[in-house]
Amino acid sequence: MLHNFIPCELGHLKVSKFDFFLTGSRFFKRTAQEDTDWDFYTQDCAEAQMYLQQNGYVVSRTYEDLFTVLILTKKTPWIKIDVQLVKDVELKTRAQEMLTPFINYVSKEYHGVLWDMAFSWIKSN
């Protein structure tokens, strides 16, 4: 979930009724560089989509794995935030924990395949 120390632009995520979980380079690389974007995920539902859009997010793209429904993005001059709306937040969390030790050793172009493999493995066990 969101950490206690966050830029003010992320405040609307922290105070919402939805749970937003950190992912992407800030999660996997533990980076705190100012110039990196912020990536989160949450459970997909119409209400979450509406909440994000009311707070300035626009549908930007789909993701390259089978369990991400879509990505909403918010850009300001100071920050870029991507929120993945996922089919199963618990599955995404378990897959993220599983991939943490080695995802940085795999080229980003193969991350979608890696996520799909993790999802499949978790669902089959």
Residue-level pLDDT, tens digit, the chain, 125 residues: 454 445 777 888 989 999 999 998 888 875 556 677 899 999 999 999 999 999 999 998 766 778 899 999 999 888 899 999 999 999 999 999 999 998 888 888 888 888 889 988 998 98
What count of other Cβ atoms lies within 10 Å of the Cβ of residue 116? 15
Distance in Å from the first CA to the final CA of the chain = 25
110 is written with which tokens? 């193969």
User: 51-80 as b/e, with b when 16 or more CB fall inside 10 Å?
Assistant: bbeebebeeeeebebebbeebbbbeeeeee
Spatial neighbors of 65 by CB under 8 A, at least 6 apart, are 111, 112, 115, 116, 119
Torsion over CA of 44, 49, 51 and 55, rounded to 10 degrees? 130
CATH class label, 8-124: alpha beta
**How crowded is the C-beta side of 52, counted as CA atoms within 13 Å?**
28
pTM of the model: 0.86
